[in-house]
A and B are shown apart, each in its own frame.
Chain A
């Protein structure tokens, strides 16, 4: 039999492949370009750290004129980390979704700076997988896998939206678990231990809380804006709809009382107020919330001894520089030594007896360490990176197709940004010091994984939707011939 006549354009559907991948690879030029800058920066940082460390080691060994070798501090760690970043980029390209291209390089740079800091600290400080830096690398790899997996796989938010009370309940349940079975670290009952795993549920709770608030606020926004109750100059929404808000306030206070975790309480309450403002655009809620927080804080201050200690240290750390105020004073000295451009990576923080002078440097005070080694210029850049994360989140929120996604995106980025600014301000003695982590820089698995979860969800939420796929063009000789025949046909 002869082939079907060429003048039959109706045979097009049959000529399509039987099955086609419904996504096409989509190049992400901006992301690639930014990742190349990240790679260059981390390489330069690693080489500078390596040269400094080797020179210091040679000086310690008694070499008068040490020959400085220029090579990265730890080639394996640097290569593995950059490899993970580019693998994540490749996976996103292959997935072909039209998602945000800024967030991955930004958190990649933050994670890389944290990794450089961990390489530079005494490796015996923490970590079971062959030292501090290698353990941090493992967690970073897991975190970026989580980001990539969520950014590719999450296409639907119904599972978040529908079960908002379930998520909130799981979060609070985890917190209660920590209340009951928690292990006390430095007087704060933060972590639960399940077999070999320890985790900080308050890290996970912050995501659950944002999901719950996004669901609740997007559903009840119009009711909250309605004014039916008046308290003095303030107009309040109908009282039943205030109940969850009061529950939030009570929960924040409960965390402080039972768990002794000032940082988490402050973070939850700030994010809650900001989201309330995002959803309703009513400044009076924020003012009322702030007043409630101040009243609650004052009561706690008068009742709880350790809150008093924290605030007193903040007001005057030099009252007891060797005891209670030691951490804060050392952090201030670190910033002072850093000056404008810092001492350089690896050159700061002379260790005292093999330990860094600031306790909990790798979890609570990485900002002070970076302030010493990178100076004012460096920490301003780091704060700028967190601002970029917030800007991206708000931008994703502004272009989100519905209110739930909008509030969720704003909340997710704010939870990372606010946390960074709380701990940075604590390190700088702007607010009382609270023991929370600096996202993506601090050492710690819970923090890295949960912040990976947040960024992964943000990238997934930024999906602009599929482009219309162009019709399959009729290419080649036969196609052109068929078109000619078509036109010639009467």
Chain B
């Protein structure tokens, strides 16, 4: 067979193959997109685990899934309600911005502590950091280890 013709045919099949390569990569992206949509929003941002809670509400060991904006406090309107006498009505605010979590004190009486030191402005909160609000201690974890 004529080698030039052979190369032309290889090129033709390559073109068809690349059309399917495109479709294949698109379908992969679409499937990933659908899978993450089925999981629901906010589930992969992180979670808070209760480490210590003298009042027993929430009990130790409870895990909270987090949305992009989370408020903590004693009031029932907070996303996470902490029944502790040292916790203010709206105590602290956690926000997921860009690619990281930030914590901000919402004007609480007793302050918000990250790894034992009191914060005075919005400050980053890394995965594994310990957050103390009143007498409640919580740890921020990744959803999937």
Contact = CB atoms under 8 A, between A and B. Distances in A.
A52 B10 CA distance: 12
Interface string A22-60: 000000001001100110110011011001100100000
Interface string A367-410: 00000001101100110110010011001001100000000000
A341 B16 contact: yes
Nearest to A106: B26
Given A34-B26, A468-B95, A468-B97, A47 B19 contact: no
B96 A41 contact: no
A344 interface: yes
Contact of A344 (B12, B18, B68, B117): B12
Given A47-B11, A51-B11, A377 B25 contact: no
A37 B15 contact: no
Interface residue tally on B, bucketed by range? 35 or more
A406 to B, nearest CB: 14
A375 B97 CA distance: 50
A219 interface: no
Contacts of A105: 22, 26
A344 B22 contact: no
Interface string B1-37: 0001101110111111011111101110110011001
A468 B15 contact: no
> B7, B19, B68: which has the most chain A beta carbons within 10 Å?
B19
Contact of A388 (B5, B15, B30, B122): B30
A316 interface: no
Given A9-B121, A68-B4, A34 B22 contact: yes
B145 interface: no
A30 B8 CA distance: 31
A341 B13 contact: yes
A454 to B, nearest CB: 19
Interface residue tally on A, bucketed by range? 35 or more
Nearest to A113: B19
Contact of A470 (B16, B29, B98): B98
A181 B5 CA distance: 53
B129 interface: no
B25 A381 contact: no
A67 interface: yes
> B26, B96, B102: which has the most chain A beta carbons within 10 Å?
B26
B26 A41 contact: no
Contacts of A345: 12, 15
A469 interface: yes
Contacts of A471: 97, 102, 122
A45 to B, nearest CB: 4
B24 to A, nearest CB: 9
Nearest to A486: B120
B74 to A, nearest CB: 26
B62 interface: no
Contacts of B7: 51, 68, 70
A469 B12 CA distance: 48
Given A374-B16, A468-B96, A471-B122, A55 B8 contact: yes
Contacts of B34: 395
Nearest to A40: B18
B100 interface: yes
A230 interface: no
A48 B96 contact: no
A9 B12 CA distance: 65
Given A55-B8, A344-B8, A381-B16, A41 B22 contact: yes
A381 B23 contact: yes
B29 A102 contact: yes
B14 A44 contact: yes
A467 B98 CA distance: 6
Contacts of A384: 23
A51 B7 CA distance: 9
A342 B12 contact: yes
A470 B26 contact: no
Interface in B78-122: 95-100, 102, 117, 120-122
B117 A41 contact: no
> B4, B12, B100: which has the most chain A beta carbons within 10 Å?
B12
Contacts of A344: 8-9, 12
Given A48-B11, A55-B4, A468-B96, A41 B19 contact: yes
Contacts of A399: 37
Nearest to B20: A381
Contacts of B14: 44, 48
A37 B18 CA distance: 7
Nearest to A38: B22
A468 B8 contact: no
A384 B121 CA distance: 52
Interface string B32-61: 011001000000000000000000000000
Given A41-B18, A471-B97, 11 more contacts: A33-B25, A34-B25, A37-B25, A44-B15, A68-B5, A70-B7, A106-B26, A381-B20, A395-B33, A467-B98, A486-B120
Interface of A: 9, 30, 33-34, 37-38, 40-41, 44-45, 47-48, 51-52, 55, 67-68, 70, 101-102, 105-106, 109, 341-342, 344-345, 374-375, 377-378, 381-382, 384-385, 388, 391-392, 395, 398-399, 467-471, 473, 486-487
Interface of B: 4-5, 7-9, 11-16, 18-23, 25-27, 29-30, 33-34, 37, 68, 95-100, 102, 117, 120-122, 124
12 contacts: A34-B22, A34-B25, A55-B4, A102-B29, A341-B12, A342-B16, A385-B22, A388-B23, A391-B30, A468-B95, A470-B98, A471-B122
Which 10 A/B pairs are nearest by Cβ-Cβ distance? A41-B18, A48-B11, A468-B97, A68-B4, A344-B12, A381-B19, A470-B98, A45-B15, A470-B97, A44-B15
